[in-house]
Amino acid sequence: MGKESSAAVFLPRLRLHDGKLIKDRRYHLRTYPNCFVAKELTDWLIDHKEAPDRETGIRLMQKLMDHYIIHHVCDEHSDYKDAKLLYRFRKDDGTFPLNKDVKVFVRGQSLYEKLVGAEGSILKVREENSVKYQRTFLGCEMVDWLVQEGEAESRKEAVELGQALLEHGIIQHVSNRHHFFDGDLLYQFWINFRRRRRLTELLNENSSRTLSESPDSPFCLRKLNPDPGNTSFLSVQPNKEIKIVSAVRRSSITSLAGNSNPYFSVTPTLVFPPVAECNPKSVLKRPVTNEELLSPGAPYVKKTLTIVGDAVGWGFVVRGGRPCHIQAVDPGGPAAAAGMKVCQFVFSVNGMYVLHLDYQTISSLIMTGPRTLVMEVMEAVE
């Protein structure tokens, strides 16, 4: 569930508490605290225009169940039934899974509300390169404020908090070119926590995805044979047997989209056909965090690669997330010729800082960008 959509969940829960829809209820001589009746909640969604009809309301609540936001009070039903059954928000009974992502999101929301309500807030409308940005602040101002307000014990801790907020998509550099630093760089809150969100956003959050959930990205695999009718691509992984997967040529996707330019500049909306699973296991010997990559004295060197794509792509596969890594490289392709290797970490794409992004987003940036691809990668020092 995305960050913006998570915000759509927290606010309706509070409204349900205020409206007394969530309350202690008795059933079969037992009291169930802080719960609601499914049928009443579906009515509420329609009455408050959170859902246009009962079918949509049921789909919305099922999505909340799928994401462990709500559950049946006795966990006897794994699906949401529009009936006189009792359900509860997991935040109301302590079973909500507070993983790192959720904790950072909640912390970011708390800091935002505190900043917005502060007299003389550091959040301001500022202009950079003739572009106005909302909810902006300087990195050094945020560090000062976090220390002064007791949100961080030291400037180092404040920087680490700022970096966590950026890596989770809550704040960002205004032009998305830098990580969070204690300096004069301009940042903004990417999420406006006070924007009223409708629950129907949950049903649409995945509609903008342009890439398949397949383990392989067809656009960055290369054609095995030069025969025009052959649509097989080669994916290469060290010390593994080569596997062939069926894929669509990037140029054929373009022609279907009605764009004569083989390196189209608009985001495609077509769904790729299913392909055989290839390279399911990461080539990394162990997980590596952004903190490890960026720590002073870390055994990594940054390299800039300029890759000119050919008619079938650039010849590499990106995998992972926060940070993403190079999973496979075609030894005869443009990427290999530019010096790309497996296990390198993707630092930036065409000038955009991407350490905090997942591989689907990075793949989309590459796919919708220019033919000449400029990437900064971080490589382990042998």
SS (H, E, C) 152-173: CCCHHHHHHHHHHHHHCCCEEE
Looking at per-residue confidence, does 362 or 213 come out higher? Answer: 362
Pairing of strands 316-320, 300-308: unpaired
Predicted confidence at residue 11, as pLDDT, reads 53
Asked if the model's pLDDT at residue 2 lies above 60, the reply is no
pLDDT in tens, 148-169: 999 999 999 999 999 989 888 8
Query: Rounded to an integer, what distance in angstroms lies between the CA atom of residue 166 and that of residue 142?
Result: 13
E strands within 21-94? 23-27, 30-37, 70-72, 86-89
Predicted confidence at residue 228, as pLDDT, reads 41
Query: Rounded to an integer, what distance in angstroms lies between the CA atom of residue 64 and that of residue 60?
Result: 7
Query: Rounded to an integer, what distance in angstroms lies between the CA atom of residue 194 and that of residue 49?
Result: 19
Predicted confidence at residue 83, as pLDDT, reads 95
Predicted confidence at residue 197, as pLDDT, reads 60
Cβ–Cβ < 8 Å for 161, 146:
yes
Label residue 243 by pLDDT band (50, 70, 90). Answer: very low
Label residue 35 by pLDDT band (50, 70, 90). Answer: very high
**Average pLDDT of the segment spanning 127-144:** 92
Asked if the model's pLDDT at residue 277 lies above 90, the reply is no
Looking at per-residue confidence, does 303 or 19 come out higher? Answer: 303
Cβ–Cβ < 8 Å for 211, 218:
no
Predicted confidence at residue 68, as pLDDT, reads 80
pLDDT in tens, 82-108: 999 999 998 888 887 666 777 788 888
Query: Rounded to an integer, what distance in angstroms lies between the CA atom of residue 88 and that of residue 34?
Result: 7
In degrees rounded to 5, what are phi and psi of residue 85?
-115, 150
Query: What number of other Cβ atoms are within 10 A of residue 347's Cβ?
Result: 22
CA angle 73–78–82, rounded 5-degree value: 75
Q: Cα-Cα-Cα-Cα dihedral of 55, 4, 209, 169, to 10°?
A: -160
E strands within 270-371? 300-308, 316-320, 324-329, 345-349, 352-353
Q: Which amino acid would we find at residue 37?
A: V
Asked if the model's pLDDT at residue 23 lies above 50, the reply is yes
Percentage with pLDDT > 90 across the chain: 34
Q: Which amino acid would we find at residue 21?
A: L
Asked if the model's pLDDT at residue 145 lies above 90, the reply is yes
Predicted confidence at residue 40, as pLDDT, reads 95
